[in-house]
């Protein structure tokens, strides 16, 4: 697990974004994955209420965004610039799939600033912009429609990096205590006895009923409390039968 | 690599979505990753021009979406329903992180319909809705701000599944031919000779210049055509010196 500061050394650079809403949505995408440094190169429209609405709880990221006249200035302090493209064709640079690139990106971010560079919504990155990047990264996509929304591409890239460095809490396993093998075996014995008593299971022609029950419960992997509940239920069925 | 039809057996179910724009953006997110079956449970507003604008090139997915009065009806033909939540806390169900769940989801989709179920933008999935799911899946996120936009969550889930089953073309390695060790060694000899002739490298006090050059070029991993170009350049420098 890398230190949180590695994510702090990763910037998202949006070059010539057309739609303020996308800038806001990109800020939100970044913050949900723990990124904060947003840089805008020559945004084509002022950020207004639409950008703020789509930033939602990531207004701090949006308002902290810096604007640069050109990509060169935005990348001035970066040791590695990674250009993103959804296209696998027409690439002059050799490209890595996002998952393949994640390790190298995080390794670089341990010691230097890394910029993830996204192009304009319609045109993507120009060859000149790609020329300022040292790595080209592709998000593998449907060849018949590979056009991810700008903020969606930022979301996927940030998700992949955060997951690759295991930055965020992953849910703990089952919240409740799993039953032990011994407890589950006792349940099967109880279940079998109850089925025999009820007449449903004929010990002379068992029809693999216990095998099927084992398979079903094996998939369910019952918790201790569920074993208790089932045995209580079986006992109640047995009582009823005896009455 | 699973068959493409496994993705065709995965549906995205949006329960009570508030914003038509999010439904359109979710349709786009799905299509970029090769998914097509969109289901809406009691959408709170009519899908209008905003939904269509945000669907962009995925109008077919949006227009093919079916609407259901309740989640039960939307899940009727599904063998596995996976509820999505951004929260790791307050969960009554045991939950898996998305990457952990991907394998089980794809395995199920080889033989049955699988529904990825997303709740309302503001409230997420209710406990009743979660109760209709057999698996709960969490997208690990920033604990201080874990609120992914609805379409962004759909994008990440679809990306993870498509990547886990390697559905989409991944860029090929470097497009050009890498130079062989022999060619690179010849380049170093040439380079050294040129630096000695120029007086820049003093063979009696080499200052580890060649070592530094080797490290630099090792990182660059030159292509065959680049080795040629560099040797041409060195030859030109040597000529100039001799003149």
Query: Is residue A182 helix, strand or coil?
Result: helix
Best residue of A7, A143, A145 to probe chain B, by most B CBs closer than 10 Å: A145
Q: Tell me: pLDDT of A175 over 90.
A: no
| Residue B53: inside a domain | yes
Select the highest-mean-pLDDT range: A12-21, A121-130, A179-188, A225-234: A12-21
Would you say residue A223 has pLDDT above 80?
yes
Q: Is residue B133 part of a domain?
A: yes
The answer to whether B170 contacts A138, with C-beta atoms less than 8 Å apart, is yes
Cβ–Cβ under 8 Å, residues B42 and B15: yes
For residue B167, what pLDDT is reported?
Answer: 82
- Is residue B19 a contact partner of residue B45, using CB atoms and an 8 Å limit? yes
Q: Which residue of A has its CA nearest to B58?
A: A145
Report the distance separating Cα A74 and Cα B85, nearest Å.
35
Contacts with B34 from chain A: Cβ below 8 Å? 142
Could you read off the pLDDT tens digit of each residue along chain B, which spans 243 residues? 444 578 999 999 999 999 999 999 999 999 999 999 999 999 998 999 999 999 999 999 999 999 999 999 999 999 999 999 876 545 566 789 999 999 999 999 999 999 999 999 999 999 889 989 989 999 999 999 999 999 999 999 999 999 999 888 887 765 667 788 899 999 999 999 999 999 999 999 988 899 999 988 888 888 888 899 999 999 999 887 666
Could you give the CA distance from residue A7 to residue B142 in angstroms, rounded to a whole number? Answer: 11
Instruction: Quickly list DSSP for A43-85.
Output: -SS---HHHHHHHGGGHHHHHT-EEESSHHHHTTTEEEEEEEE
| Residue B69, C-beta contacts closer than 8 angstroms, at least 6 positions apart | B41, B42
What is the structure's pLDDT at A177?
77
What pLDDT is recorded for position B2? 44
CB < 8 Å to A170, chain B: 88, 97, 100, 138, 140
CA–centroid distance for B123 within its chain? 27
The verdict on A6 touching B (C-beta cutoff 8 Å) is no
Which residues of A fall within a CB distance of 8 Å from B122?
none
Which of B31, B138, B171 minimises the CB distance to A138?
B171
Statement to judge: residues A137 and A38 lie in one domain = yes
Please give the pLDDT value at position B89: 47
So what's the pLDDT on residue B81?
A: 95
**What mean pLDDT is reported for chain B?**
90
Chain B residues whose CB is inside 8 A of the A28 CB are 147-149, 152
Nearest-by-CA chain B residue for A154: B152
Which one of B29, B156, B169 has the shortest CB-CB distance to A140? B169
Q: What is the pLDDT of residue A89?
A: 47
Find out whether B12 and B38 touch, Cβ atoms under 8 Å.
yes
- Same domain? For B19 and B112 the reply is yes
Decide which of B127 and A139 is more confident: A139
Minimal Cβ distance to B31: which of A57, A142, A172? A142
Exposed, middle or buried, B8 (CB in 10 Å: 0-12/13-18/19+)? middle
Cβ-based contacts of B33 with chain A (< 8 Å): 141-142
Name the domain boundary from B129, B164, B199. B164
Q: Both A106 and A52 in a single domain?
A: yes
pTM for this entry: 0.85
Query: In chain A, which among 19-58 make CB contacts under 8 A with chain B?
Result: 25, 28-29, 31-34, 54, 56-58
Cβ-nearest to A94 among B140, B152, B173:
B173
Q: What is the pLDDT of residue A242?
A: 65
Does A133 share its domain with A236?
Answer: no
Same domain, A190 and A154: no
Q: Give the number of domains in chain A.
A: 2
- List chain A residues with CB under 8 Å of B175: 91-92, 94
- The mean pLDDT value for A160-168 works out to 91
Does A88 map to a domain? yes
For residue A149, which residues of chain B lie inside 8 Å, CB to CB? Answer: 25, 28-29, 54, 56, 151, 155
CATH number for B43: 3.40.1280.10
Q: Are residues A29 and A92 in the same domain?
A: yes
Single residue among B136, B164, B192 that ends a domain in this structure: B164
Confirm or reject contact between B18 and chain A (CB < 8 A).
no
Nearest to A156 among B95, B149, B155 (CB): B155
pLDDT above 70: percentage of residues in chain A = 93
B99 lies in some domain: yes
β-pair partners for A40: A14, A67
Q: Which helix (H) or strand (E) holds B126?
A: none
Alpha-carbon span B63 to B47, nearest angstrom: 10
User: Are A154 and A190 contained in the same domain?
Assistant: no
Residue B174 maps to a domain: no
Q: Percentage of chain A with pLDDT > 90?
A: 70
Cα–Cα distance for residue pair B227/B187, rounded to 1 Å: 7
User: Between chains, do A149 and B56 touch, taking CB under 8 Å as contact?
Assistant: yes
pLDDT, one tens digit per residue, over A30-78 is 999 999 999 999 999 899 999 999 999 999 999 999 999 999 999 999 9
Q: What is the pLDDT of residue B4?
A: 58
Q: Is A2 helix (H, G, I), strand (E, B) or coil?
A: coil
Residues A81 and A160 in one domain: yes
Question: What is the reported pLDDT for A119?
Answer: 96
Same domain, A149 and A223: no
Average pLDDT score over chain A: 90
Residues in chain A within 8 Å Cβ distance of B220:
none
Interface of A with B in 119-158 (CB under 8 A): 138-143, 145-149, 151-152, 155-156
Domain membership flag for residue B9: yes
End residue of a domain, out of B98, B132, B164: B164
| B100 interface with A at CB cutoff 8 Å | yes
Residue B175, in any domain of the structure: no
Q: Are residues A83 and A197 in the same domain?
A: no
- Kindly report, residue by residue over B97-150, the tens digit of the pLDDT: 999 999 999 999 999 999 999 999 999 999 889 989 989 999 999 999 999 999
Give the confidence band of A173 by pLDDT, cuts at 50, 70, 90.
Answer: low
**Is any Cβ of chain B less than 8 angstroms from the Cβ of A227?**
no
- Which tokens belong to A99? 């998952």
Which among B35, B61, B59 is positioned nearest to B167, based on CA atoms? B35
Residue A223's DSSP bridge partners are: A178
List the domain range (segments joined by +) for residue A232.
181-242
pLDDT at A70: 96
Residue B169 covered by a domain: no
- Is residue A86 located within the same domain as residue A38? yes
Give the C-alpha separation, A157 to A166, whole Å. 14
Assign residue B207 the CATH number of its domain.
Answer: 1.10.8.590
* Separation CA A186–CA B195 (nearest Å): 83
Tell me the per-residue pLDDT of A74-118, one tens digit each, with 9 for 90 and over: 999 999 999 998 765 455 667 899 999 999 999 999 999 999 999
Q: Tell me what pLDDT residue A50 has.
A: 95
Question: Are B17 and B68 members of one domain?
Answer: yes
The A66-68 sheet, strands edge to edge: A66-68, A37-41, A10-15, A113-118, A78-85, A135-138, A95-97
């Amino acid at each position: 697990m890398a230190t949180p500061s590695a994510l702090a050394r990763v910037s998202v650079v949006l070059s010539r974004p057309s739609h303020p809403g996308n800038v806001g949505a990109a800020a939100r995408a970044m913050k949900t994955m723990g990124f904060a440094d947003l840089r805008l190169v020559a945004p084509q429209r002022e950020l207004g209420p639409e950008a703020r609405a789509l930033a939602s709880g990531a207004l701090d990221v949006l308002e902290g965004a810096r604007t640069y006249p050109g990509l060169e200035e935005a990348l001035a302090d970066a040791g590695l610039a990674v250009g993103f493209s959804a296209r696998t064709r027409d690439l002059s640079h050799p490209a890595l799939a996002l998952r393949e690139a994640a390790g190298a990106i995080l390794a670089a971010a341990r010691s230097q600033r890394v910029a993830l560079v996204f192009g304009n919504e319609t045109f993507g990155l120009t060859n000149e912009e790609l020329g300022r990047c040292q790595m080209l990264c592709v998000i593998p996509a449907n060849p018949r429609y590979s056009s991810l929304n700008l903020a969606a591409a930022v979301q996927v890239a940030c998700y992949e990096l955060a997951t690759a460095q295991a930055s965020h809490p992953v849910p703990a396993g089952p919240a409740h205590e799993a039953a032990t093998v011994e407890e589950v075996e006792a349940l099967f014995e109880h279940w079998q006895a109850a089925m025999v008593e009820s007449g449903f299971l004929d010990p002379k022609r068992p029809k693999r009923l216990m095998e099927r029950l084992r398979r079903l419960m094996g998939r369910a992997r019952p918790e201790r409390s569920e074993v208790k509940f089932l045995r209580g239920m079986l006992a109640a069925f047995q009582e009823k039968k005896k009455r």
